[in-house]
Amino acid sequence: MKKRTLALITALVLLVALAAGCAPNQTGTAPEKTKVHVAALNGPTGMGLAKLMDDQEKGATKNDYSFTLSGAPDDIVAKITSGEVDIAAVPTNLAASLYNKTNGNVRLIAVNTLGVLYIVENGETVRSLADLRGKTVYATGQGATPEYALDEILAKSGIDPDKDVTVEYKSEHSELAALVTSGRVKLALLPEPFVTNVTLKNKDVRVALDLTEAWSAAAGDDKSELVMGVMIARTDFVEQNAKALNDFLTEYKASTEYVNANVQEAAALIEEYEILPSAAVAEKAIPNCNIVFAGGRDMKDQVEPFLNVLYGANPKSVGGKLPDDAFYYIP
């Protein structure tokens, strides 16, 4: 009887042990998600993140993301150089300049936005680049991609940007958009979604020229891309968090694809997460914002020629020299 009792006790102990091993983990030993801090600008570079932001809120992401949105690139530069954020969306030329100025402390990880620049007019006088001769164009983005892109397009089209066209720069997109909407400015270079916002508010304003098309035509190459925005990451984050970075790239790509394929739903998310103040504007702007995802060699093939053009126009635009191959994160 004692042997049978001992055997029964042993069997019960084994069953309890097995049950404990198979039971759901009550102490949370599942792999902990990597915390990833992401910063982006309000507008097209932030719009592609909308679905990822929603997935994060629902707990459906591989990483644990926090998001910071800003109206000015300088704010994002300060955050990524201080280590406050790990990944950031910035203008393409700023990514190269930052790489040079920080001695390689950031890496390029993806292209997220192609051409978003348009010349809008309150009137009917501009139908081609040649029609800009003798006119004053108001613009934003002095010392950044818009200025260099416009100068390059004009020069390649036989128009001297210093003599044939007067370009007056304003510091803020919103300031210039308000001037165009009110009718005080008749001709302006603006990015989306400000173009959509202006044309919705003032029916006399129309898109006169698409600078993305003008860039390709001026380059004489349909493959030449006006690469407006990219994603960068701190080099130490890249080196220490390979899996988390690749998970981000996978999830971010899916987010950009969702935004382009589900415009109405994405527009609602863009308003919800305050990337833009209006879902109506977002819905109309998304098709014109050229939100994309390109990583690895595709990314390099798009960005490298664009930086070569900017460097040729003004070396300061990319931080004084072209970035070397280490700039490009190719898994």
Domain that holds residue 142: 117-219
Largest Cα–Cα separation, the chain: 110
- How much is the pLDDT for 174? 86
3-state SS, one letter per residue, for the chain: CHHHHHHHHHHHHHHHHHHHHHCCCCCCCCCCCCEEEEEEECCHHHHCCHHHHHHHHCCCCCCEEEEEEECCHHHHHHHHHHCCCCEEEEEHHHHHHHHHHCCCCEEEEEEEECCCEEEEEECCCCCCHHHHCCCEEEECCCCCHHHHHHHHHHHHCCCCCCCCCEEEECCCHHHHHHHHHHCCCCEEEEECCHHHHHHHHCCCEEEEEEHHHHHHHHHCCCCCCCCCEEEEEEHHHHHHCHHHHHHHHHHHHHHHHHHHHCHHHHHHHHHHCCCCCCHHHHHHHHHHCCEEEECHHHHHHHHHHHHHHHHHHCHHHHCCCCCCHHHECCC
C-alpha to C-alpha distances, 168 to 71, 82, 195, nearest whole angstrom: 21, 34, 18
Q: Are residue 205 and residue 239 in the same domain, yes or no?
A: no
Q: Are residue 265 and residue 320 in the same domain, yes or no?
A: yes
- How much is the pLDDT for 221? 62
Q: Are residue 291 and residue 267 in the same domain, yes or no?
A: yes
Q: Are residue 123 and residue 110 in the same domain, yes or no?
A: no
270 neighbors 282 (Cβ within 8 angstroms): yes
Q: Are residue 109 and residue 187 in the same domain, yes or no?
A: no
Q: What span, in angstroms and rounded, lies between the C-alpha atoms of 49 and 254?
A: 9
Q: What span, in angstroms and rounded, lies between the C-alpha atoms of 148 and 76?
A: 21
Q: Are residue 103 and residue 250 in the same domain, yes or no?
A: yes
- How much is the pLDDT for 255? 97
Q: For residue range 146-181, what is the model confidence (pLDDT) as tens digits?
A: 888 898 899 988 999 889 999 999 988 889 999 999
Q: Are residue 97 and residue 123 in the same domain, yes or no?
A: no
Provide CB contacts within 8 A for 137, sequence distance 6+. Answer: 119, 150, 165, 166, 167, 168, 187, 188, 189
Q: What tokens does 165 get?
A: 């066209």
Q: For residue range 230-241, what is the model confidence (pLDDT) as tens digits?
A: 999 999 999 999
- How much is the pLDDT for 227? 92
Q: Are residue 128 and residue 161 in the same domain, yes or no?
A: yes
What CATH number does the domain containing 175 carry? 3.40.190.10
- How much is the pLDDT for 109? 98
Q: Are residue 215 and residue 241 in the same domain, yes or no?
A: no
Q: Are residue 233 and residue 206 in the same domain, yes or no?
A: no
- Based on the structure, what is the number of domains in the chain? 2
Q: Are residue 323 and residue 307 in the same domain, yes or no?
A: yes
- How much is the pLDDT for 6? 47
Q: What span, in angstroms and rounded, lies between the C-alpha atoms of 176 and 198?
A: 10
Q: What tokens does 45 get?
A: 């570079």
Q: What tokens does 112 get?
A: 């997220």
Residue with tokens 């644990």: 64
Task: Give which of 321, 313, 316, 41 is closest to 150, Cα–Cα.
Answer: 313
Q: What tokens does 99 get?
A: 């790489």
In a domain, residue 232? The reply is: yes
In which residue ranges of the chain is pLDDT below 50?
A: 1-6, 8-9, 11-25
Considering 178, 202, 219, which residue would you say is the last residue of a domain? 219
Single pTM value for the model: 0.83
Q: Are residue 87 and residue 128 in the same domain, yes or no?
A: no
In a domain, residue 293? The reply is: yes
Q: What span, in angstroms and rounded, lies between the C-alpha atoms of 322 and 174?
A: 32
In a domain, residue 2? The reply is: no
Considering 197, 219, 241, which residue would you say is the last residue of a domain? 219
